[in-house]
């Protein structure tokens, strides 16, 4: 049992006052639990999926990018037309699109969705994956290119007169004024965990994103990116996005049974390289985000109230892989622990992708929002975190161990 913190009614100084929810959109029913051989989009399923996110009260959906995935811009545009409210986040690797063209595409998406576009810049975590699309820069140069890219996106959206540019990575003459977004600008998020990611994110990003880490480690990382932002003279600090793969059932005990059943199936899928189209590599990942997830998994399986790392261990931490396990109340309380540390964008996506998106919308999001509404109305914390202790309580560890 992890020693239980005392949950006083006082709201911590580091707490975010508001939280918004993100979930990645899936294009077909293939999952890590039940891989279905497919290369394609199941349109009916995809429509259902984005409607479920919209109806479930999510605020954003991430459209991921890989050299073998569907194109995230085209999918984002479809999300815009299939929904009214949810904001599409386009994952974009700078090597794939000249910055002024990306600015134009994003501004078009923003107008087509009346101000809902967001972009998530990925500098690339694997040299081999970057080379598949002709990008041979080493990672530190890729981040330097991202820094120049961010400046050019913002200038393309805001300059009212033509401008020329001669930088380290890009050169052009007499561009502009470009096609403008619906609103003033479009939020730019940075993904990555290396020192260079922190530098670019702290200096330039509207949002900086993480995969789920133990609470104290995440708080340290938030302070690090905010310190870089302050040193750069910023008065508006980057918002903090944190991602989890919750495993939820009616009670903590049932959630643990499910978690152990799931991890066996997920492990099998990855051992057979049956999910996704590229072979899953078993060697050490090059991206620091995955390296961190694996080192947390090595140190311990369970952290804090409900963070479980075995899902990271069996998948070589490819993509977001750390779980929160428990009843809706325990998982909502665990999310609030992160909100208390300063996370204000929470991304959740389950392993049973569509069913979980619906379940979280019904059972988890409302609990987090109720607590935040309570805090706003009363100026004090409610009781969810002190009543649903998960790993801070007595039974949880027994449930966690029983399924092994
Ligand atoms: C929330 C989040 C979403 C991400 N989405 C993608 C994605 O769609 N495609 C991709 O190749 N990498 C994605 N990444 C991975 C990293 O951005 C990438 O590996 C990074 O550019 C380099 O890693 P490093 O700085 O951690 O070493 C994502 C990362 C985070 C935190």
The predicted-structure confidence for 337-381, as pLDDT tens digits, reads as follows 999 999 999 999 999 999 999 999 999 999 999 999 999 999 999
Does residue 82 have its Cβ closer than 6 Å to ligand 1? no
Range 312-323 average pLDDT = 92
pLDDT of 403: 65
Q: What is the pLDDT of residue 394?
A: 86
* Confidence grade of residue 278 (pLDDT, cut at 50, 70, 90): very low
Distance CA 370, CA 193 (A): 32
Q: Which of 24, 68, 122 to mutate to test the pocket of ligand 1 (most atoms within 8 A of CB)?
A: 122
Cβ distance 209 to 189 under 8 Å?
yes
Closest residue to atom 29 of ligand 1, CA basis: 191
- Widest CA span of the chain, in angstroms? 67
CA atoms within 13 A on the CB side of 126: 16
Expressed in angstroms and rounded, the spacing between residue 75 Cα and the centre of ligand 1 is: 18
Task: Judge whether residue 282 has pLDDT over 70.
Answer: no
pLDDT digits (tens, 9 = 90+) for 198-215: 999 999 999 999 999 999
Does 322 contact ligand 1 (Cβ within 6 A)? no
- The Å distance, Cα 211 to ligand 1 centre, comes to 9
Residue 46, φ and ψ in degrees, nearest 5: -60, -40
Question: Worst-scoring range by mean pLDDT, 189-198, 268-277, 295-304?
Answer: 268-277
Looking at residue 273, its pLDDT comes to: 79
The reported pLDDT for the residue numbered 277 is 46
Cβ(192) – ligand 1 distance below 6 Å:
yes
Report CA(138)–ligand 1 centroid distance (Å). 15
Question: Does 125 sit in the ligand 1 pocket, CB within 6 Å?
Answer: yes
Of 24, 142, 192, 347, the one to substitute when testing ligand 1's pocket (max ligand atoms within 8 A of C-beta) is 192
Contact 42, 27 (CB under 8 A): yes
CB-ligand 1 contact for 65 (6 Å cutoff): yes
Question: Could you write out the DSSP letters of every residue in 231-293?
Answer: HTT-SSPPEEEEEE--EE-SSHHHHHHHHHHHHHHHHHHHHTT-SSSSPPP-SPPSSHHHHHH
| Residue 45, pLDDT score | 97
Is 94 touching ligand 1 by the criterion CB < 6 Å? no
* Dist. CA 264 → ligand 1 center (Å): 26
Q: Tell me which DSSP letter residue 22 carries.
A: E
- Mean pLDDT within 45-52: 98
Q: Is the CB of 212 under 6 A from ligand 1?
A: no
Q: What is the pLDDT of residue 281?
A: 55
Q: Whose CA is nearest to atom 17 of ligand 1?
A: 191
For the CA of 124, the closest atom of ligand 1 is 21
Average of per-residue pLDDT across 52-74: 97
Which of 27, 125, 196, 224 best tests ligand 1's pocket when mutated (most atoms within 8 Å of CB)? 125
Residues 6 or more apart in contact with residue 383 via CB below 8 angstroms:
none
Give tens-digit pLDDT for 29-38: 999 999 998 7
| 142 CA closest ligand 1 atom index | 21
- Please give the pLDDT value at position 5: 85
- Spans of all domains in the chain: 20-402
Q: Give the number of other CB atoms < 10 A from CB of residue 20.
A: 15
Residue 400: pLDDT band with limits 50, 70, 90: confident
pLDDT tens digits, 114-149 = 999 999 999 999 999 999 999 999 999 999 999 999
Would the CB of 189 count as within 6 Å of ligand 1? no
Residues 6+ apart with CB under 8 A from 140: 196
Q: CA–CA separation, 187 vs 177, rounded Å?
A: 20
In the chain, what percentage of residues exceed pLDDT 70? 97
Does 243 contact ligand 1 (Cβ within 6 A)?
Answer: yes
Average per-residue pLDDT in the chain? 95
The yes-or-no verdict on residue 404 having pLDDT over 90 is no
How high is the pLDDT of residue 275? Answer: 74
CA–CA distance from 369 to each of 18, 358, 363 (Å)? 9, 16, 11
- Tell me the CA–centroid distance for residue 136 and ligand 1, in Å: 17
Domain 20-402 is found in CATH 3.40.50.620: no
The CA-CA-CA angle for residues 114, 93, 185, to 5°, reads 30
Give tens-digit pLDDT for 205-244: 999 999 999 999 999 999 999 999 999 999 999 999 999 9
């Amino acid at each position: 049992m992890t020693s239980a913190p005392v949950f006083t009614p006082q709201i911590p100084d580091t707490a975010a006052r508001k939280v918004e929810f993100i979930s990645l959109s899936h294009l077909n029913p293939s999952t890590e639990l039940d891989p279905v051989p497919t290369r394609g989009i199941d349109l009916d399923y995809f429509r259902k999926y984005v409607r479920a996110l919209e109806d479930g009260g999510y605020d954003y959906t991430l459209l991921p990018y890989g050299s073998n995935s569907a194109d995230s811009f085209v999918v984002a545009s479809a999300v815009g037309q299939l929904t009214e409210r949810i904001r599409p986040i386009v994952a974009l690797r700078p090597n794939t699109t000249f910055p002024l063209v990306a600015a134009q595409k994003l501004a078009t998406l923003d107008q087509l969705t009346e101000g809902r576009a967001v972009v998530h810049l990925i500098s690339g975590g694997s040299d081999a994956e970057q080379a598949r699309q002709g990008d041979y820069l080493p990672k530190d140069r890729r981040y330097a290119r991202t820094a120049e890219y961010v400046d050019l996106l913002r200038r393309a959206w805001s300059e009212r007169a033509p401008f020329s540019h001669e930088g380290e990575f890009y050169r052009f003459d007499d561009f502009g004024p470009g096609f403008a977004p619906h609103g003033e600008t479009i939020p730019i998020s940075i993904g990555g965990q290396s020192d260079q990611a922190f530098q670019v994110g702290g200096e330039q990003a509207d949002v900086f994103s993480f995969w789920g880490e133990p609470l104290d480690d995440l708080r340290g990382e938030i302070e690090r990116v905010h310190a870089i932002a302050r040193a750069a003279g910023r008065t508006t600090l980057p918002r903090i996005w944190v991602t989890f793969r919750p495993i939820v059932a009616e009670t903590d005990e049932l959630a643990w049974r499910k978690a152990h059943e799931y991890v066996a199936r997920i492990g099998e899928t990855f051992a057979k390289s049956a999910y996704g189209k590229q072979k899953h590599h078993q060697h050490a990942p090059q991206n620091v985000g995955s390296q961190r997830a694996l080192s947390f998994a090595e140190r311990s399986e369970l952290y804090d109230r409900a963070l479980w790392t075995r899902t990271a261990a069996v998948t070589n931490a490819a993509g977001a892989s750390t779980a929160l396990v428990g009843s809706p109340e325990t998982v909502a309380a665990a999310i609030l622990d992160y909100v208390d540390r300063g996370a204000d964008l929470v991304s959740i996506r389950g392993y049973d992708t569509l069913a979980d998106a619906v379940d979280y919308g019904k059972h988890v999001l409302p609990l987090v929002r109720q607590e935040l509404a309570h805090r706003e109305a009363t100026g004090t914390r409610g009781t969810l975190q002190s009543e649903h202790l998960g790993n801070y309580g007595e039974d949880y560890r027994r449930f966690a161990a029983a399924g092994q």
